[in-house]
Structure 1
Amino acid sequence: MMFTSLPSHLALTLLVALDSFSSSGGLSSAAPSPNAQPLSVPLLRRYTQPQNVTELGAWARNQRIAIETKYGIRPPVDKRSNGMNLLTNQNADSSYFGSIAVGTPPVSYDVILDTGSADFWLAASDSEGSNIESDIPRFSPPGSSSFVTQNASFSIRYGSGAAQGTLGSDVIQMAGFEVQNQVFGVVSQVSENMLNPPVSGILGLAWENIATSQVKPFWQVLAQTEGLLDEPVMAFQLTRYIDAPRVRSAEPGGTFTLGATNSSLYEGDIDYQNIPDGSVGYWILEMSSLLVQNQNLSLPEDASFAAIDTGTTLVGGPAGVIQAIYSAIPGSSAATGEYEGYYTYPCSTTVTISLGFGNSTIRWPIEPAAFRLARLSADTCLGGFFELSSSGSSAPNWIVGDVFLKNVYSVFRASSPPAIGFATLSSTALAMNGEGGPLPSPTIASSAAAVTATGVGIDRASSAATRIYSTPMGAMLLAVASTLILKLLQ
């Protein structure tokens, strides 16, 4: 069997894969003028290609393990009312990262943007011999006059390793907004190959009640400060390069908009569906319909909750439903060995699959090119949906990552009530897929709407904040033997 081309999809938010290519790029957060329209954070993408089927199998296996670990399924291993940050697309749609500025004076760092986790952490300057590569930018507490230590340790375990350090607080800036006294992790030790340059850490964009640090996340501080944002929302438009020829290791990744939506990137209405009562923590929706090859598949009532996770690359779901999906695709078969839980199908088959959520009658289609994870041979392709073993855990039944999110404009609304919305991508947004162009470069706004974080004290009764999760694609970590090792996930 011959391996032609695999886009190294990371399934997580803490991700990280090795680059087979030497080129790399930086991310930027375009600093908007005071009167600017909604600003977006440019995203960048980096590309890694497994060298053979063995490496691809190791990657696929660890992708599945990383998602299960992230969600606790598997045990460890001037006032600006809206702003925009350009994103970077990393590892062929594996993860997307943007820039954030920390400290006084402010220094910019690239971080995975991950709606599947709620903690923010950066690699620390005092991390020699810690498996943090020398060319990864690191945060230096002594270099910031506003940094305050919290006298508490910080520890996170991932599917392929762990990160640990201490907690501190400082001034954080992103997309024209500033939060003072924001608590975050200053990480001095990580497992080997956990971070991939130029990414320095993870910015969790889920809710406070799943934060390891017990700290209200940066985005939530802004959204819950009265009168600060035009709207209590954040929105993503993600580019697709998985099917593009001659892909660079880093590509323009799309936009992240805070406090507003960007009408140039979608058309029609945004279809909001409320987060089910009692489910705020992860960004959760009920998956209500599934259409495959024009066939409606039934969904069990007790197995339909889905986490919408920008830090995860693929889509994982209940084994029975995943089996039904591939049964509707002629010529499909269950994979074995390292590919256990995945399915193959004939590359000549155009797969049409659409997802519906909540009470909406709308089904959102996934492009066939986005569904195809890899070509294993001239005739055999690997699908981007896999079986997620969530039995006996409190994790959502579905983890819906970038395989789906690249096909829609997604909006995460904090209140009135909390909800997730999807809209059709505009022609402007679609034209960015595979287009290439200059990469965004980190910038720091000359002025920022500022707010002081409150209610973010650390429980000193517990000296370590610990959570088991993985990535980065955030961040999911894919520990890949040989050249690929991975979290956002994002």
Structure 2
Amino acid sequence: MEKRSTGTNLLTNQNADSSYFGTVAIGTPPVAFNVILDTGSSDLWVADQACTTGCSKVQLFNDQSSSTFHNLSEPFNIQYGSGAATGTLGQDVVQMAGFSVPNQIFGVVTQATSGLLSPPVSGLLGLGWQSIATSKAEPLWQTLASSGAWTDPLMAFQLTRFVNGSNVNDVEPGGSFTMGFVNSSLYTGTIDYQAIPTTPSYWILPMTSLTVQGSSISIPSGSSSYSAIDTGTTLVGGPSSVIQNIFAQIPGSQPGTGSWQGYWTYPCNTAVNVAISFGGPSWPISPADFQLTKISSSQCVGAFFELSTSGSAPNWIVGDTFLKNVYSVFRYSPASVGFAALSNTALAMNGVNAAAPSPTIGSVSASATAGTGGGSNSASHRWGIPWVPLVGGISVAIGAVWM
């Protein structure tokens, strides 16, 4: 480690808030790759030049052209709700936002299910904890946080909203991801931190209250209220009984049918106000975020869907529908998640007509050595971010649970 430091990665908003990607550079000389930033999983992987399926029109990793690449010759296989990515594990220099880890283990993917990668995205950067890494490798962020490379042991997101815009491009400005500091220009008031109630795996918080149109919805307490705070999921998923109760507060709601099974429709002219608390303040969700898409002249699909989980997976998955409405902080020590109200500066970025950012790697100001890891492992219960193509041309990234 050279010195404590901070860094920022500008984000890109893809497909009207379906996902948010940033940039990492891999190898010597470094090559930039667009990767989904996913707090709901813990592995880094990119598509390799030897990729045979699911990798067209994206930047590919060439392990032959990096002088520092080391092939670990171990299989890598990660399951997502709409398919899988498979390949082998490698080790190389990985840079992000001015930080460098010289021996990061990552998946070199040679096959991906069609539709898993949506150009120009080449892979995924997991920002969850090592305990849920399929590769068993220490995640990039955790290496940096634990080694003291960051000025403060935390990372933070501000995400933009384009879901309610007209003439939205495939890629738009997505906000920012910071390492080692919080950007005080992007939030107002204080950051409310809530401790993770379990041994760190997912970024879990207990959901303590939920209101719809001013009415309180009954939610189970204890571990039944555990929610994965997940930047790699587009929407909010929860237990069927609670989701049904939410829509019971909205006159004219109907359960979705066909490809919308598990979703609910409601009259588009209803502004739905949902607010969630995780033990601190109650955070409102914009009615624009609750309205996922229009499927007829009068009916819209809501952004809360019925999710069935089992085993160690939390009952709730709280994705970008919620996270667009707050400044979110993921803290290594003490392990906690913090939320704050967005500043006017941050809110002014929503729906703005501007070019998507160009890759931001940053010149290396600090480096850290990754901990031990490696070894293939089938994930027992985990989230992922699949691309689920839905009717109306909507793509939604949804966390999935695998036995």
Normalising by structure 2, we get a TM-score of 0.94
* Residues 470 and 247 of structure 1: CA distance in aligned 2, closer, same or farther (over 3 Å): farther
Q: What does residue 345 of structure 2 align with?
A: 428
Q: Which has the higher contact order (CA 8 A, sep 6+)?
A: 1
Give the 5 Å matches for 1:364-443: 364-390=283-309, 392-415=310-333, 417-443=334-360
2:184 counterpart of 1:263: yes
* Residues 310 and 79 of structure 1: CA distance in aligned 2, closer, same or farther (over 3 Å): same
| Between structures 1 and 2, the one with greater strand share | 2
The one-letter code sitting in structure 1 at the alignment partner of 2:350 is: N
Distance 1:452 1:162 in 2: 29
Give the 3-state SS of the residue equivalent to 1:79 in structure 2. coil
2:194 counterpart of 1:273: yes
> Which consecutive unaligned segments of at least 5 residues does structure 2 have?
none
Give the 5 Å matches for 1:119-138: 119-127=43-51, 129-133=52-56, 135-138=57-60
Counting aligned pairs with the same residue, the percent is 54
- Confirm or deny: 8 A CA contact 2:81 2:385 kept in the other structure: no
Distance 2:299 2:258 in 1: 16
Of the three residues 73, 94, 118, the one matched with 1:196 is 118
Q: CA deviation at 1:346?
A: 1.2
Q: Figure out how many residues of one structure are paired with residues of the other and give that number.
A: 397
2:379 counterpart of 1:467: yes
Distance 2:47 2:398 in 1: 15
The one-letter code sitting in structure 1 at the alignment partner of 2:218 is: S
Give the 3-state SS of the residue equivalent to 1:316 in structure 2. strand
2:248 counterpart of 1:327: yes
Give the 5 Å matches for 1:239-254: 239-254=160-175
- Confirm or deny: 8 A CA contact 1:233 1:258 kept in the other structure: yes
Q: What does residue 159 of structure 2 align with?
A: 238
- Confirm or deny: 8 A CA contact 2:43 2:126 kept in the other structure: yes
Q: What does residue 64 of structure 1 align with?
A: none
- Confirm or deny: 8 A CA contact 1:80 1:177 kept in the other structure: no
Of 477-486 and 347-356, more deviation after overlay is shown by 477-486
Give the 3-state SS of the residue equivalent to 1:466 in structure 2. coil
Of the three residues 244, 254, 264, the one matched with 1:343 is 264
Of the three residues 2, 13, 23, the one matched with 1:99 is 23
Give the 5 Å matches for 1:52-63: none
- Confirm or deny: 8 A CA contact 1:117 1:282 kept in the other structure: yes
* Residues 211 and 488 of structure 1: CA distance in aligned 2, closer, same or farther (over 3 Å): farther
Distance 1:445 1:174 in 2: 7
Q: What does residue 173 of structure 1 align with?
A: 95
Q: CA deviation at 1:444?
A: 3.6
Distance 2:187 2:66 in 1: 40
The one-letter code sitting in structure 2 at the alignment partner of 1:98 is: G
Q: What does residue 39 of structure 2 align with?
A: 115
- Confirm or deny: 8 A CA contact 1:113 1:488 kept in the other structure: no
Distance 1:428 1:120 in 2: 31
Of the three residues 122, 130, 143, the one matched with 1:208 is 130
Of the three residues 62, 69, 82, the one matched with 1:140 is 62
Give the 5 Å matches for 1:42-81: 79=3, 81=5
Give the 3-state SS of the residue equivalent to 1:224 in structure 2. helix
> Which consecutive unaligned segments of at least 5 residues does structure 1 have?
1-77
Distance 1:156 1:291 in 2: 36
Give the 3-state SS of the residue equivalent to 1:199 in structure 2. coil
Give the 3-state SS of the residue equivalent to 2:110 in structure 1. strand
Give the 3-state SS of the residue equivalent to 1:373 in structure 2. strand
- Confirm or deny: 8 A CA contact 2:312 2:381 kept in the other structure: no
Give the 3-state SS of the residue equivalent to 1:101 in structure 2. strand
Question: 1:234-258 deviations in whole A, cap 9, x for unaligned?
Answer: 1000000000111111100000001
Normalising by structure 1, we get a TM-score of 0.78
* Residues 313 and 296 of structure 1: CA distance in aligned 2, closer, same or farther (over 3 Å): same
Q: CA deviation at 1:323?
A: 1.1
